[in-house]
Structure formats: structure tokens, C-alpha cells
Amino acid sequence: MNSVTVRVPAKVNLQLAVGPLRGDGYHDLVNVFHAVSLFDEVTAVAETGMSVRVEGESADQVPEDDDNLAIRAAVALARHAGRSYGVSLAIRKAIPVAGGMAGGSADAAAALVACNELWGLGLPLEDLMEIAADIGSDVPFALLGGTAVGTGRGERLTPLEAAGPFHWVFALADGGLSTAKVYAECDRIRAEEGLPVAEPRAAGALLAALRDGDAKALGAELTNDLQSAALRLRPSLAATLEAGRGHGALGALVSGSGPTCAFLAASAAHAGELAGALRDAGVAREVLTAHGPVPGPAVV
């Protein structure tokens, strides 16, 4: 096989509970990931060296060198196989860059699936999951798709039952937010408040709403402990969230570390109306609709 193309979805966090800062600089998380129908595409072509090209949504903000997460994934897979494979990767981005929707992690997961196929390695998902966890804490979920709860740094995953489909609207902002800076701001806010920080726990009502496919209950349970930090760094997001709530969103939150805002709608038709209202309100660079949960990366 000379070329393999893999389509991979973005994620939104339905619950992102951030525990106290640990001695190693990380936080224990409870991270309910939900894969949505907004896709990047990664094409792997057999080559002697390793290279990557990026086109599409905010492509100019994505590195085309060894820092690219898809290249890091290909290098890690070749190392795991103990061979000096080469590949040329072409990434077509639709997932917002540095948008809190794990686009880079998605590309890394897609590269693992594509190169596993291209190089005829036939590694099982468990092996790819181990390699994925070394690349970044959101990469294992990007390999899995669907809906899952992540603990630890988010990389220890348990798949969740989710009836769905749930209908989403995403408001994309101008420019990204650095995940590291948002966590640092969250720590700063907590230090100012001086209150004890609880150990993170999955919300039972959220898990029940997912199982039952109850969008209204799910909307009421969406939470993100990084939201106040993202809002401090990007105050304009408050108006975006308010506009969605004002137009009947069942729930509204910043996705992951932001700045993308996610709104849960009652139906596909409601998502279309809500998207139109957000565009008219001028509170986002671009507004997209999607549904979830969707499966993880797939060869197309």
C-alpha cells in the first residue's frame, strides 16, 4: 500500500474537573471526552524520510517540522517497531488550532492509525494506546472516539455508554489559547481564592444523562473547571456564551482550555437555528454544527 488516508474527529469535554496541583506540576483530572463530527484528515504516503505538510483551518499556526504531533506519533511508532520507516504526512485541518478541541492530538492518533496500516505493522489498539499516552494525555482518547471518562492526567480511559446523538454548535474564536497558560491561570485564581480544591469526581447525573440520551439533563450538567481561567484570559468569551444561552442552548461552556465555545442544542434543527443566531450576533469568527458521539479515527 502506498497511501493511507485517515479521518479523525475533534473532541469536546462534557466535564473537566481539575484537582489540586500535584508535586510534579500536573493535576489529577476527571475528563469526560466526547468525540464530535468535526474532522481532520491525515494522509500518509510511503517515503524515505519523515515530513509533514498542513493545509486548511489556521494551517499557518501549525508547525511543519518535528514539533508536529503527527510526526512525533509516526516517529514513536517507527521506534516501537524497531525499524527506520519513512512517511510523508499531509494534514487537512478542519478542527480549530489551539481551540480546546484536541486537534493536534487527533492528528497524532490519525498518524498512528495511518502508519500502522501503511507500514503493514498490524499492531493492536492496546499497543497504539500505549504509544499514544507517551505523546500526550489527550491522544489515547483521540484513538478511541465515542464518549469516555479519562482519569489521571486524562489518559486512563473508561468508555461510557452514550445514547445520543447529541447536537452541538461550536463558536470558533480568533486566535488560540495556550493550554499551559490556561492551567497556570487556573492555579493563580485558586491561589487568590485560597479555598481548598476538591479531588475530581465524575458527576453521576452527567453519566446518567449520557446513558439516557437526555440532552436537557446533559446541558444542565456540563462543567469545565478551566472556564473561569479561559474567561480571564479571553473576556470576550463571556458574551459568546451569553448569546448562546440567550438563544435557547441547553448548555453552554468553553471547550477544554478554549477559546472555542460549545453549545448543546435540543435537535439538529435547533442547532441550525442557534448557529444562525450566533452568526447574526457577531460573537464568533466562525460557527459550526456537529453531532456526537462519533467513532474514533477511520481509514477512508
User: Measuring CA to CA, how many Å separate 287 from each of 59, 125, 154, 223, 228?
Assistant: 18, 34, 28, 21, 22
- The only residue of 4, 97, 230, 265 in contact with ligand ATP, by rule CB under 6 A: 97
Tell the smallest beta-carbon distance from residue 210 to ligand ATP (Å): 20
Indicate whether 70 belongs to the interface with ligand ATP (CB under 6 A). yes
Alpha helices in 153-226 (DSSP H): 179-193, 204-212, 215-221
Q: Which of 131, 137, 140 is nearest to 152 (CA)?
A: 137
Separation between Cα atoms, residue 59 and residue 45, nearest integer Å: 20
Indicate whether 261 belongs to the interface with ligand ATP (CB under 6 A). no
* Grid cell locating 157: 480511559
- The only residue of 9, 100, 219, 244 in contact with ligand ATP, by rule CB under 6 A: 100
Classify residue 68 by its DSSP letter: S
- The only residue of 31, 43, 105, 151 in contact with ligand ATP, by rule CB under 6 A: 105
Which residue, 220 or 223, has its beta carbon nearer to ligand ATP? 223
Residues that contact ligand ATP, how many (by CB under 6 A) = 23
Of 19-27, 73-81, 101-109, 119-127, which segment contacts ligand ATP by CB under 6 A?
Answer: 101-109
Indicate if 93 belongs to the active site: no
Of 40, 93, 107, 138, the active-site residue reads 138
Indicate if 28 belongs to the active site: no
DSSP per-residue codes, 229-255: HHHHH-TTHHHHHHHHHHTT-SEEEE-
Residue 186 · residue 225 · CB < 8 Å: yes
Tell the smallest beta-carbon distance from residue 140 to ligand ATP (Å): 12
Indicate whether 63 belongs to the interface with ligand ATP (CB under 6 A). yes
217 annotated ligand-binding residue: no
Single-letter amino acid code for the residue at 218: L
Binding site for ligand ATP (CB under 6 A): 61-63, 67-70, 91, 97-105, 107, 138, 176, 179, 256-257
Annotated catalytic residues are 11, 138
